[in-house]
């Protein structure tokens, strides 16, 4: 399902729902205050204050690549949203599909060993037993079962924190101040067009990064289809790559494409004389027969101050 439009602006309905949001905030505060397990290795967490696609997995992939390049045996931890797996499972891309483990774990597993576990502490114990020298959480800032040594608050500069209210009145899982208080730094992805950083504590360092397409598509006519939290980000990436976006087919986040939808997409792309393109996250949910007919366009992070990020990693994972 898509987030309601009123989450992006304040008004009568958000104010009416504010008491329910206060209850959610109180329950979250009580939950995150519970003591968690402290792993014998450093734990980093890429989290956010709200729901939706702020860029947590993109950041986690970037950090994992940096740690691997340093020779650190980093293992990733994720809930595996959308997958039917239960308990603790080490992701094997050769054996597991998105239906079992979810889409994001397959992307992470291509970079570093990845564990799916709703109980992050159980996943962490399994990873440490398997030789992990550092743990990297994709999401889980509000999960108290595992103590974090460095949490990074991910902020999408285009949408920020919406109307600033807690669900169901707004998009937040908890107040921004509460989430920021448990974070070492904030990571602002894209330009801060909605003044999101004004909601952050002045003492919280902010590292800036931009999304860049991993390939150039100059003049290529494309039909963009995706099931991600913010399809507009994908559309912007394609235009940044030089593509001519003839049409967009947008679905809900983690959407499981039906055969009829994929047939319709391919037929429409042919009618438009356009190449069907999608995101890496969507590609892992496609049947192999469809995947080979689609161009996958990913993004990478370009840091305004990469040295500052490297200092954080070196300080957390010596």
- Sign of the CA dihedral 207, 202, 233, 253? positive
Q: What's the pLDDT tens digit per position in 34-68?
A: 999 999 999 999 999 999 778 999 999 999 999 99
Question: Which pairs from 7-13 meet CB under 8 Å and 24+ separation?
Answer: 7/162, 7/163, 7/165, 7/170, 7/171, 8/159, 8/162, 8/163, 8/171, 9/162, 9/163, 10/163, 10/164, 10/165, 11/163, 13/169
pLDDT at 262: 97
For residue 157, name the pLDDT band (cuts at 50, 70, 90).
very high
* Segments making up each domain of the chain, as ranges: 7-210+303-316, 215-297
User: Which CATH architecture fits 7-210+303-316?
Assistant: 3-Layer(aba) Sandwich (3.40)
Q: What's the pLDDT tens digit per position in 258-308?
A: 999 999 999 999 999 999 999 999 999 999 999 999 999 999 999 999 999
Q: What is the pTM of this model?
A: 0.94
Question: Percentage of residues in the chain with pLDDT exceeding 70?
Answer: 100
Q: What's the pLDDT tens digit per position in 106-123?
A: 999 999 999 999 999 999
């Amino acid at each position: 399902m898509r987030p309601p439009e009123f989450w992006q602006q304040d008004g009568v309905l958000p104010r009416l729902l504010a008491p329910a949001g206060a209850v959610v905030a109180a329950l979250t505060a009580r939950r995150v205050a519970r003591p968690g397990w402290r792993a014998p290795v450093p734990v980093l967490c890429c989290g956010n204050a709200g729901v939706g696609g702020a860029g947590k997995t993109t950041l986690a992939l970037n950090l994992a690549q940096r740690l691997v390049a340093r020779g650190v045996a980093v293992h990733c931890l994720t809930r595996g949203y959308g997958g039917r797996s239960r308990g603790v499972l080490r992701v094997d891309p050769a054996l597991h599909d998105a239906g079992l483990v979810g889409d994001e774990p397959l992307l992470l597993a291509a970079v570093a060993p990845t564990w799916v576990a709703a109980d992050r502490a159980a996943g962490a114990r399994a990873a440490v037993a398997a030789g992990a020298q550092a743990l990297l959480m994709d999401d889980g800032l509000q999960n108290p079962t595992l103590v974090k040594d460095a949490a990074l608050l991910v902020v999408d500069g285009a949408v920020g924190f919406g109307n600033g209210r807690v669900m169901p009145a707004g998009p937040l899982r908890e107040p921004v101040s509460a989430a920021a208080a448990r974070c070492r730094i904030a990571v602002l992805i894209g330009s801060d067009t909605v003044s999101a950083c004004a909601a952050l504590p002045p003492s919280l360092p902010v590292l800036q990064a931009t999304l860049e397409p991993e390939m150039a598509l100059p003049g290529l006519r494309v039909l963009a289809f995706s099931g991600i939290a913010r399809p507009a980000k994908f559309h912007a990436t394609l235009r940044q790559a030089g593509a001519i976006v003839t049409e967009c087919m947008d679905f809900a986040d983690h959407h499981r494409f039906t055969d009829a939808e994929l047939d319709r997409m391919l037929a429409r792309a042919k009618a438009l004389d356009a190449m069907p393109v999608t995101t890496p996250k969507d590609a892992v949910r496609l049947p192999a027969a469809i995947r080979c007919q689609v161009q996958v366009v990913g993004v990478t992070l370009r840091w305004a101050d990469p040295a500052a990020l490297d200092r954080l990693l070196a300080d957390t994972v010596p």
